[in-house]
A and B are shown apart, each in its own frame.
Chain A
Amino acid sequence: MSTIRRRDFVKLAGAATALGAAGFPMLSLGAATARVVVVGGGFAGAIAAKYTKLYAPEAEVTLIEKDKEYISCPFSNEVLSGERDIKSLTFNYSALGKRGVKVVNDEVVELDPAKKTLKTRGGKTFQADFLVVAPGIAFQWGAIPGYDEAASEKMPHAWKAGPQTLLLKKQIAAMKDGDVAIIAAPANPFRCPPGPYERAAQIAHYLKHHGKAKSKVLILDAKDKFSKQGLFMAGWKHNYGDMIEWKSGAEGGKVEAVDPKTMTVTTEFEEYKAAVVNVIPPQKVGPIAEKAGLTDAKGWCPIESASFESKKAKGVYVIGDACVAGAMPKSAYAANTQAKVAAANIAAAILGTKLPKPAYTNTCYSLIAPDYGISVAGVYTIGAEGTIVEVQGAGGVSAADLSIEGRKREAVYGISWYKNITRDTFG
């Protein structure tokens, strides 16, 4: 490599681009040695690693993820109802390894977006030519007075699946008939917008079928409306009668403080005591993105709509829940298609081919009961102002007048969605 002089490279580039390629940004490195490092192995990062390798097998793709196993948030509400166990939500990275992705089990503690260098807790250093940052979310501890990490051991968030999910499940199982479970839902933006409302249904499902039909689930919300609202409310009623109550922000639903010692939740007008309090706290980007200076004034990562390249650093791509993706929600499917756009752009840059036209979608199912599913879909494009917007006339939620048989069909397709998206990600 180093024996080739620059002017020879120009000749080489000319030969390569004769095929119609747009440029030769990586040719000076040699396509065979382009180094792509992905930080974070969730629904965004794992897909970015896999599809970069599919698009550009010549690239050296490294995935750095702190956990050996990934426990998915999608479908973790079903663990609460007992319809699913946590093992069915647990995935590893061996299939990505077989696809040629170098999987490093370590945590990135330093990231220099300008130099594209990384350091891990384990003391390893990495140099990337392209960097993909997919750190997901972290919690704003203390944003709700009284709710810090220690409080989450009594009032679980269960918004990252794993021990927290099992803790909440245990608490729900210990409820007496007539006890109340509170879900404190955050303001936008947050991970998985329909999640709190599906959770209410899954908790009610458990209570209804375990001799606790006099119990209630009370959602105290910071918002005045929520994802798939009409469908959720109709579905709650159909399946659980009056077991689920939703209090909007305007009705005083916003939680202003909690006290885990007394299991008290304080809102603007009232104080509630409950057997179970599930606090879904306000969220922020995974700390490494903030530390690396990839965030904007609002604390999330601004990106170029066509490529997911950071607006803060060239050659650095931010995908998934951490990025600001216009109208796209912070969902697994959104992350999946964002990662593929980033992967295609990186591959095109490595191989010197034309940058592809981006395509992104979201499809997200919520299970209100095992045989009652609802969905939201969105197809996205770049709008007049350069941000990602929904294609007009497409997308939206399930038909309001869909038959019961249709809802059952959506439940079946929801489970299918889970099988396929996790296989696409970790298979």
Chain B
Amino acid sequence: MYNNKLIGALVAGALLGSASALARVNDGAVVSNTCNGCHGTNGASVGAAPVIGGLPEAYLASTMASYKDGTRFATVMGRVARGYDQGQFLDMARFFAAQPWVSSNVKGDAKLVEKGKQLHAASGCAGCHGANGIAAVPTFPRIAGQAADYLYFQMQDYRDPKKAIPPAAMPMRGMLSPLSDDDVRALAAFYASAK
């Protein structure tokens, strides 16, 4: 004969298990987890590739779409993005937006960071990206704690008229074009170390 308490626990466990599994084991999670080899588990990159866990959902989806249609220059992401459809982009965007942001935790050279801080104050970056690289509205991606190399490469592309950038990022071209290569390095170092 059976034990009612045990069955109760089992039913609860099974229901709970199924409910959380529905949240975990689904097509969106499975397609998103293919990104982790380059972007880190849950999108928390520990290298030069950008942290994507915790970025705004709309920004992630539109970024993937612009890689796919070639309106954003990439070394590898264009080749990857062309393998997916809009629905999968939305799944990935939802998955990674739901992850906690984990800063890349790189300590930049103190002098370079200080120079970057001054440029940040002088260049008006805060207008969109917030006082410390964290925007007040999710239209703009968080850049505080982002990978320094990625920020540097990205800003180089924004400055380079030969590189494709999405229309939404066009203001970046104008803002960054007066800056030197060293200035861009300094800005990247500042934002990477910002919290």
Contact = CB atoms under 8 A, between A and B. Distances in A.
Partners in one complex: yes
Contacts of B49: 413, 416-417, 420
Interface string A340-353: 11001001100111
A405 to B, nearest CB: 8
Contact of A416 (B14, B36, B45): B45
A1 to B, nearest CB: 8
B96 to A, nearest CB: 14
Given A16-B15, A353-B22, A424 B80 contact: no
A351 B21 contact: yes
B179 interface: no
Q: Which of A15, A54, A413 has the most CB of B within 10 A?
A: A413
Interface stretch (A145-153, A161-169, A197-205, A355-363): A355-363
Nearest to A27: B14
B138 interface: no
Contacts, number: 183
B17 interface: yes
Interface stretch (B1-9, B126-134, B166-174): B1-9
Contact of B18 (A351, A357, A358, A360): A351
Interface stretch (A119-127, A290-298, A387-395): A387-395
B21 A412 contact: no
Interface residues of A, number: 68
Contacts of A416: 38, 45, 47-49, 147, 149
A341 B29 CA distance: 10
Q: Which of B29, B76, B84 has the most CB of A within 10 A?
A: B76
Contact of A363 (B26, B27, B80): B80
A360 B36 CA distance: 12
Contacts of A421: 37-38
A394 B88 CA distance: 14
B82 interface: yes
Interface in A391-408: 391, 393-396, 398, 402, 406
A341 B30 contact: yes
Interface string A284-306: 00000000000000000000000
A336 B37 contact: yes
A12 B27 CA distance: 26
B30 to A, nearest CB: 4
Contacts of B24: 54-56, 347
Nearest to B162: A403
B40 interface: yes
Nearest to A419: B47
Interface string B61-87: 000000000000001100111111000
Dominant secondary structure at the B interface: helix
A375 interface: yes
A129 interface: no
A44 interface: no
Contacts of B81: 394
A30 B10 contact: yes
A395 B24 CA distance: 27
A398 B75 CA distance: 7
B46 interface: yes
Contacts of B41: 423-424, 427
Contacts of B1: 3
A51 B32 CA distance: 13
A4 interface: yes
Given A21-B22, A56-B24, A353-B25, 7 more contacts: A19-B22, A356-B25, A356-B26, A398-B75, A410-B76, A416-B48, A423-B40
Question: What are the 8 closest A-B residue pairs judged by CB atoms, nearest first?
Answer: A379-B83, A416-B47, A394-B83, A351-B21, A416-B48, A419-B47, A394-B82, A359-B31
19 contacts: A4-B7, A8-B2, A27-B14, A332-B37, A341-B30, A347-B25, A348-B25, A356-B27, A357-B31, A393-B83, A396-B79, A412-B153, A413-B48, A416-B45, A416-B49, A417-B47, A418-B47, A419-B46, A419-B47
